[in-house]
Amino acid sequence: MPLRHLLTTDDLSLDEIDLILKRAAEFLTPTGLVHKSLDTLAGKRFVLAFYEASTRTRLSFESAIERMGASCVLFTEAGSSVEKGESLDETIRTIEAMGFDAMILRHAINGTHSHIAGWTSMSVINAGEGTMAHPTQALLDASTIRERFDRVEGVKVVIIGDLLHSRVARSTASVLSRLGADVGWCAPESLAPVGEISRLRRFDDARHAMQWADVVFLLRIQRERIVSDHVPDIDEYRRQYAVTSSLAADHSSVVIMHPGPVNIGVELDEALLNVPQCLVHRQVTHGVAVRMAVLELICR
Ligand code: CP
């Protein structure tokens, strides 16, 4: 049966994930993206509904849509009738009445995406949901690892940082584990994950993680989602969990990834963004390719 929505990575079978990764690879060159535009989605109309800030996800979806010959418009909460008190459901019904095929939705409240998918005629593609899910981020991370190592199976990945509040950690750990990667984690107690990830291999600090890993996948501390006293002292945090220039130099074969945006000087030293072992910007490029493949799978 064709996939109508993409709400979590669990919506995708392993065959569909494989299909997306292989198709995305066709859109990539060793240093960027293939130049040729396609008409695969010509005539399709997309709306990007972003109730939270975004640079990478929003622009890469826009770019993917444009590269596939479709059209899109952007809705952001700021400046909309939400500021006059319009409800979420009424806003979505209003957007739906304008005749879009699919909505690419980012929202801070867990459960929003499945709630809307339950009644709307549009396909709903999750572009980030609270602390729950970020499926296309997980796919682009898998795609980046697959390119670097020629496989995902058996690659050792440690996710370091604020796993408690991270939708990326949930989605990426799930996809990488399903693809056979060996996934571990490293975080202060106050930012430790709950649920399935917590049962994976744990590391005390970034140094021990780098001694074991092929990939360290850094996360930022998500101050916007922290409601109590979870924020650790930044200097203390850096000493134990940051990938510094000297630590990276000691483990130069370990690949560094980060979904962005990076808190420069907290979890990662600025100079490392431009070293060959760091794939942060390559991840962004994979984001366009993977989103092209996802849109093709769901909306063709
Ligand atoms: N990785 C990610 O979701 O980045 P943005 O918030 O910039 O979209």
Res. 54: pLDDT tops 70: yes
Same domain for 192 and 237?
yes
Same domain for 128 and 143?
no
Rounded mean pLDDT of the chain? 95
Domain annotation covers residue 2:
no
Spatial distance between the Cα atoms of 256 and 248, rounded to a whole number of angstroms? 9
* DSSP code at position 241: H
Task: From 44, 3, 63, select the one nearest 287 (Cα to Cα).
Answer: 63
Domain annotation covers residue 188:
yes
Domain annotation covers residue 85:
yes
Same domain for 140 and 276?
yes
pLDDT score, position 36:
87
Q: Residues of the chain with pLDDT > 70: what percent?
A: 96
Closest ligand 1 atom to residue 128 Cα is 3
Verify cis geometry, omega within 30 degrees of 0, for the bond prior to 188: no
Mutate to test the pocket of ligand 1, among 57, 105, 144 (most ligand atoms within 8 A of CB): 57
Taking residue 240's Cβ as centre, other Cβ atoms within 10 Å add up to 15
Same domain for 241 and 150?
yes
pLDDT score, position 245:
97
pLDDT score, position 227:
57
User: Average pLDDT for residues 70-84, to the nearest whole number?
Assistant: 96
**Strand pairing class (71-76; 45-50):** parallel
Task: From 197, 294, 216, 218, select the one nearest 262 (Cα to Cα).
Answer: 218
pLDDT score, position 300:
86
pLDDT score, position 218:
98
In the chain, the number of structural domains is 2
Domain annotation covers residue 1:
no
User: Average pLDDT for residues 250-273, to the nearest whole number?
Assistant: 96
Same domain for 37 and 59?
yes
Which phi-psi region, left, alpha or beta, contains residue 137 (left: φ > 0; alpha: ψ -120 to 50)? alpha
User: Average pLDDT for residues 77-85, to the nearest whole number?
Assistant: 95
DSSP output for 206-229: HHHHHHH-SEEEE----GGG--SS
Q: Residues of the chain with pLDDT > 90: what percent?
A: 92
Same domain for 46 and 66?
yes
Same domain for 173 and 183?
yes
Q: Are 133 and 114 in contact (CB under 8 A)?
A: no
pLDDT score, position 228:
58
* Residue 141 one-letter amino acid: D
Q: Are 51 and 77 in contact (CB under 8 A)?
A: yes
Res. 231: pLDDT tops 70: no
Closest ligand 1 atom to residue 134 Cα is 3
User: Average pLDDT for residues 201-205, to the nearest whole number?
Assistant: 97
Same domain for 14 and 118?
yes
Q: What is the tens place of the pLDDT at every residue in 141-182? A: 999 999 999 999 999 999 999 999 999 999 999 999 999 999
Q: What is the tens place of the pLDDT at every residue in 261-271? A: 999 999 999 99
Mutate to test the pocket of ligand 1, among 51, 56, 280, 290 (most ligand atoms within 8 A of CB): 56
Same domain for 111 and 128?
yes
Domain with 85 in it: 9-133+284-299
Spatial distance between the Cα atoms of 36 and 42, rounded to a whole number of angstroms? 14
Same domain for 59 and 128?
yes
Domain annotation covers residue 222:
yes
User: Average pLDDT for residues 245-267, to the nearest whole number?
Assistant: 96
Res. 234: pLDDT tops 90: no
Domain annotation covers residue 74:
yes
User: Average pLDDT for residues 240-245, to the nearest whole number?
Assistant: 97
Q: Pocket residues for ligand 1 (CB within 6 Å)? A: 54-58, 128, 137, 259-261
**pLDDT band at residue 37 using 50, 70 and 90 as cut-offs:** confident
Task: From 160, 191, 163, select the one nearest 254 (Cα to Cα).
Answer: 160
Res. 222: pLDDT tops 80: no
Domain annotation covers residue 199:
yes
CATH number of the domain within which 105 lies: 3.40.50.1370
Same domain for 122 and 79?
yes
> Ligand 1 atom 3: the closest Cα is on which residue?
57
Under DSSP, is residue 156 helix (H, G, I), strand (E, B) or coil?
strand
Spatial distance between the Cα atoms of 144 and 289, rounded to a whole number of angstroms? 10
Same domain for 33 and 118?
yes
